[in-house]
């Protein structure tokens, strides 16, 4: 052990050793969903990966604060609430409940904090005042714009700073009311009867980017360890969060910026998906939620995932192998008192893989090797009773890894089989037999 965790930092464009801002502590902020509909498989990827990440930091002895927000007011929420005859608040509440149900189904532990934008209006208002006072923002036609030219390194997260002249060659006329095309809105004037807050600048709503800054600063401080999200959030959302925050504190918002790859369904982009439904609750009707977890974790977080029936079925088969092993040991291993396991006795390679930029697929390969090894040891030695104490301890650790870190094997083999056969009936799965 003793090796350090290494993370791919989008800000530096490379792998870096993880050195927390404060010893043995880690603060993580992940941009959560805008709640105007049920969550889809793309939301599941983010939630499952960062769930395992937060569990792992705790595992490694870090005092962990994990924050994932809800964007509970925005144009899409207002639009959809009108079409459904609900207030935006009612619509948001409905889908926050739905999101939490889906996360529970997937075995995603609740983060330490789940702030909602509408609870942070006072913070946003004082941030706006400070930005205007410092010359980082200006009011034009009732909207407040962030003045991008105040940050020489604007564009850092994308890889190279986008210089002042980046748009010089473009034939885009400067938008009316903006000083510069790159300036973005941090406060939108509201004239109609849509939800809005009173402010010294009139009635309006905060822009998306400043919302996350308000919530992360309030809960984690003006600089924290890890900021996460999908690669589609790098620009403009995260870059804009970064410069707003820098204007307020002089610091980068986060030390490490982690971005997971995007999810497609049968090759189609989720945002433009007109294909099969990708809602978590629909997929869970046909696959065990733990199979969906395994599926999502079987690809390195930085790589894209294409959701196909074939790959979901492969994950379901992989889960069968875990439960088949579980069935063989049921009643023999005391699973009630697994605790969080003893890190030092975990297979060293397993830990090394996760330490290496969360190579969970690599760690899963090691778990499967262990499964095969324990199975053949039991075959040769007359079952569990014939194993050495060291191997029995190894099996307990394997269960601890599965349950506490990966979030699988939460069912009993019986429960699993019942559910599994239910899925089989509705889906022409081959009948499952967990007996070896």
Give the Cα separation of 370 and 376 in Å (integer): 10
CA distance 238 to 231: 10
CB count in 10 Å sphere of residue 27 = 25
CA distance 195 to 87: 9
Contact between 402 and 409 (Cβ < 8 Å) = yes
Q: State in angstroms the smallest separation of the CB of 236 from Zn ion.
A: 11
Compare residues 257 and 399 and give the one whose CB is closer to Zn ion: 257
Q: Which is nearer to Zn ion, 31 or 395 (CB)?
A: 31
- Using the contact rule CB under 5 A, the part of the chain among 125-133, 141-149, 212-220, 244-252 near Zn ion is 212-220
Q: Which of 9, 6, 41, 38 is nearest to 255 (CA)?
A: 9
Could you say which residues in the range 53-112 bind Zn ion, by CB under 5 A? none
Interacting span for Zn ion (CB under 5 A) from 28-36, 81-89, 109-117, 155-163: 28-36
Among residues 26, 28, 31, 253, which is the contact residue for Zn ion, using CB under 5 A?
A: 31
Smallest gap from residue 233 Cβ to Zn ion (A): 7
Q: How far is the CB of 32 from Zn ion (least distance, A)?
A: 8
| DSSP β-ladder status, 254-260 and 224-230 | parallel
Q: By CB under 5 A, tell whether 270 contacts Zn ion.
A: no
In terms of CB distance, is 31 or 48 closer to Zn ion? Answer: 31
Q: Of 26-34, 88-96, 194-202, 401-409, which part binds Zn ion (CB under 5 A)?
A: 26-34
The yes or no reply on residue 212 touching Zn ion (CB under 5 A) is yes
Please count the other Cβ atoms lying within 10 Å of the Cβ belonging to residue 269: 13
Cβ atoms within 10 Å, residue 310? 6
Which among 210-218, 269-277, 370-378, 398-406 is the span making contact with Zn ion, rule CB under 5 A?
Answer: 210-218
Smallest distance, Zn ion to C-beta of residue 209, A = 7
Q: Which is nearer to Zn ion, 32 or 324 (CB)?
A: 32
> Cα–Cα distance between 400 and 409 in angstroms, integer?
10
Stretch that binds Zn ion, among 16-24, 27-35, 136-144, 382-390 (CB under 5 A): 27-35
* Smallest distance, Zn ion to C-beta of residue 431, A: 46
User: At its nearest, how many Å lie between Zn ion and the CB of residue 29?
Assistant: 8
Q: How far is the CB of 385 from Zn ion (least distance, A)?
A: 53
* CB-CB neighbours of 430 under 10 Å: 8
Instruction: Looking at 204-270, list the stretches that DSSP marks H as alpha helix, in order from N- to C-terminal side.
Output: 208-220, 239-249
Q: Which is nearer to Zn ion, 245 or 264 (CB)?
A: 245
> Which CB sits closer to Zn ion, 45 or 60?
45
Residues sharing a CB contact under 8 Å with residue 221, sequence separation 6 or more, in sequence order: 27
Compute the least distance from the CB of residue 157 to Zn ion, in Å: 12
- Do residues 157 and 257 make contact, with C-beta atoms less than 8 angstroms apart? yes
- Cβ proximity to Zn ion: between 52 and 212 the closer is 212
Q: How many CA atoms lie within 13 A of 430 on its CB side?
A: 8
User: Contact region for Zn ion (CB under 5 A) — 16-24, 31-39, 111-119, 140-148?
Assistant: 31-39
- By C-beta, is 127 or 351 nearer to Zn ion? 127
Distance CA 297, CA 275 (A): 23
- Listed ranges 24-32, 120-128, 162-170, 283-291: which one lies at the site for Zn ion (CB under 5 A): 24-32
CB of 369 to Zn ion, least distance (A): 39
HSE on the CB side for 405, CA within 13 Å?
26
The minimum distance between CB 65 and Zn ion, in angstroms, equals 17
Q: Which stretch binds Zn ion (CB under 5 A): 102-110, 117-125, 209-217, 420-428?
A: 209-217
| Residue 287 backbone class (left: φ over 0; alpha: ψ -120 to 50; beta: rest) | beta
Q: Other CB atoms closer than 10 Å to residue 119's CB: what's the count?
A: 14
- 31 or 292: CB nearest Zn ion: 31
Contact, 53 vs 28, CB < 8 A? Answer: yes
CA angle 195, 197, 202 (to 5 degrees): 115
- Looking up tokens 């800054």 gives 213
Residue 146 and residue 186 in contact, taking contact as beta carbons nearer than 8 Å: yes
127/212 with CB nearer Zn ion: 212
Per CB under 5 A, 265 contacts Zn ion: no
CB of residue 181 to Zn ion, shortest distance in Å: 22
Indicate the pairing of strand 14-17 with strand 25-30: unpaired
The count of residues interacting with Zn ion (CB under 5 A) is 2
131 or 214: whose CB is closer to Zn ion?
Answer: 214
Contacting positions for Zn ion (CB under 5 A): 31, 212
């Amino acid at each position: 052990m003793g090796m350090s965790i290494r993370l791919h930092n989008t800000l530096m464009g490379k792998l870096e050793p993880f050195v927390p801002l404060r010893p043995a502590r880690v603060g993580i902020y992940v941009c959560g969903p805008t709640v105007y509909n049920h969550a889809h498989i793309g939301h599941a990827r983010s939630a499952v990966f960062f769930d395992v990440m937060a569990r792992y930091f705790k595992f490694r002895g870090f005092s962990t604060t994990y924050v994932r927000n809800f964007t509970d007011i925005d144009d899409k929420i207002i639009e959809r609430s009108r079409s459904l005859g609900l207030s935006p608040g009612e619509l948001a509440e409905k889908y926050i409940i739905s999101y939490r149900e889906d996360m529970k189904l997937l075995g995603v532990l609740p983060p330490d904090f789940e702030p909602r934008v509408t609870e942070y209006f006072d913070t946003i208002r004082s941030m706006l005042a400070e930005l205007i006072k410092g010359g980082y923002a200006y009011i034009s036609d009732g909207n407040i714009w962030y003045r991008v030219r105040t940050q020489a390194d604007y564009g850092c997260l994308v890889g190279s700073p986008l210089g002042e002249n980046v748009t010089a060659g473009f034939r885009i006329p400067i938008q009316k009311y903006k000083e510069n095309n790159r300036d973005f809105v941090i406060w939108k004037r509201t004239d109609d009867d849509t939800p809005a807050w009173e402010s010294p600048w009139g009635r309006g709503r905060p822009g998306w980017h400043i919302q996350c800054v308000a919530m992360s600063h309030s809960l984690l401080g003006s600089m924290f360890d890890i900021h996460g999200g999908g690669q589609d959030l790098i620009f403009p959302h995260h870059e804009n969060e970064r410069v707003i925050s820098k204007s307020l504190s002089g610091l980068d918002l986060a030390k490490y910026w982690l971005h997971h790859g995007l999810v497609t369904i049968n090759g189609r982009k989720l945002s433009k998906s007109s294909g099969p439904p990708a809602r978590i609750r629909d997929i869970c009707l046909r696959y065990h939620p733990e199979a969906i977890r395994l599926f999502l974790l079987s690809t390195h977080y930085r790589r894209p995932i294409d959701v196909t029936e074939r790959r979901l079925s492969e994950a379901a088969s992989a889960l069968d192998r875990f439960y088949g092993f579980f069935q063989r040991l049921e009643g023999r291993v005391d699973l009630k008192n697994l605790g969080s396991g003893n890190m030092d006795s975990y297979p060293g390679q397993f830990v090394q893989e996760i330490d290496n930029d969360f190579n969970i697929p690599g760690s899963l390969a090691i778990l499967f090797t262990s499964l095969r090894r324990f199975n053949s040891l039991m075959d040769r030695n007359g079952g569990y009773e014939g194993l050495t104490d060291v191997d029995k301890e190894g099996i307990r650790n394997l269960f601890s890894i599965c349950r506490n870190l990966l979030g699988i094997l939460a069912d009993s083999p019986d429960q699993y089989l019942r559910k599994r056969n239910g899925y089989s009936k509705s889906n022409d799965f081959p009948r499952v037999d967990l007996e070896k």
